[in-house]
Amino acid sequence: MSQSLPSDQSQINPSRIGVLLLNLGTPDGTDYWSVRRYLGEFLSDPRVIETPKWLWWPILNLGILTFRPQKSGHAYAQIWDKEKDESPLRVITRDQAEALAQRLAGHGEIMVDFAMRYGNPSTRSVLEKMQAAGCQKILLVPLYPQYSATTTATANDKAFDALRDMRWQPAVRTAPAYFDDPNYVAALGNSIRDGVAALDFEPDLVITSYHGLPQSYVERGDPYERHCRETTRLARGYLGWPEERMMVTFQSRFGPTKWLEPATAETLEALPGKGVKKVAILAPAFSVDCIETLEEIAMQGRDSFMGAGGEKFAYIPCLNASAGGMDMIEAMVRRELAGWI
């Protein structure tokens, strides 16, 4: 019977298991057109912008994509990894994938890679590469601790779009949000504790700044705000700190609609006037450092706080590919692969 098979189908690659880390995305460069392409894809996603397309299209294409790429490109240039000519988000996400592959090397059938929801490497291209390499089972791991339709859901959407076009479709699992995972809480808590201990000052306040979301999205059922506040509550409990030692804020507000509050930028400007002159800040919604943490918080946030009369400001990095962060990712992946390995 094998003699009747087409020549290109006479052999089947050994079955493998794929683990695909999914992150938000990044432009390929800091120039106007690279940033415009990235912003165009990002801001055209109906999961991100729920404004009706007929209303949003002219605002985006005739306004935002004309002027914003230059401003954003300048911001990216401030934090760009010039040696590798890539954004930190892509560099660090690759580091995470490589570190995870080493940790799972004892299972020879596992292939680990990473992809971006917007930009490169695209989710479609990496899934196709995995399928061609014989991955008949794939675990999708959106690297967003707190669930939102604008992050976890759209990352999975993009993967499902690619899978829909495959004739030989692999079995797929998706890892859940991990905002309250004990391993994540411990990794985050240890990162905060170690970050504060390494400072040359004692913060009056530690701020957990999460990426913002329009208030209307939460009112429609998005659990993101609850997840963010629960992450901070659990981390604070892990550290044994009183409630007043750590607060929640939301950053990256965009457009005229009402967003989650309190706003990070406004909070940083107001704190010195209230006698809070020394702060440490971190961004638990991000699995890796990126423009929203390295430029918006560590640079712009510092300038705003110090300009308003602050005395000491420190940014505590994301978990990135640190040992603690990778311990958490490895534990989550091994749990979600149960029954496959």
Q: Per the structure block, which two tokens stand in for 210?
A: 């999460």
Contact (Cβ atoms closer than 8 angstroms) between residue 87 and residue 27: yes
Q: Does residue 339 register a pLDDT over 60?
A: yes
Q: What is the pLDDT of residues 192-226, one digit of tens each?
A: 999 999 999 999 999 999 999 999 999 999 999 99
- Architecture in CATH for domain 182-315: 3-Layer(aba) Sandwich (3.40)
8 pLDDT band, cuts 50/70/90, is low
Concatenating the DSSP letter of every residue in 197-257 gives HTSSS--SEEEEEEE--BHHHHHTT--HHHHHHHHHHHHHHHHT--GGGEEEEEE---SSS
Confirm whether residue 107 is marked as ligand binding.
Answer: no
Q: Per the structure block, which two tokens stand in for 76?
A: 């990216």
Contact (Cβ atoms closer than 8 angstroms) between residue 334 and residue 14: no
Q: Per the structure block, which two tokens stand in for 27?
A: 């432009």
Q: What is the DSSP letter of 261?
A: S
Q: What is the DSSP letter of 194?
A: H
pTM comes to 0.94
Confirm whether residue 292 is marked as ligand binding.
Answer: yes
- pLDDT score of 255: 83
The count of other CB atoms within 10 Å of the CB of residue 319 is 27
Q: Does residue 96 register a pLDDT over 80?
A: yes
Distance CA 1, CA 9 (A): 13
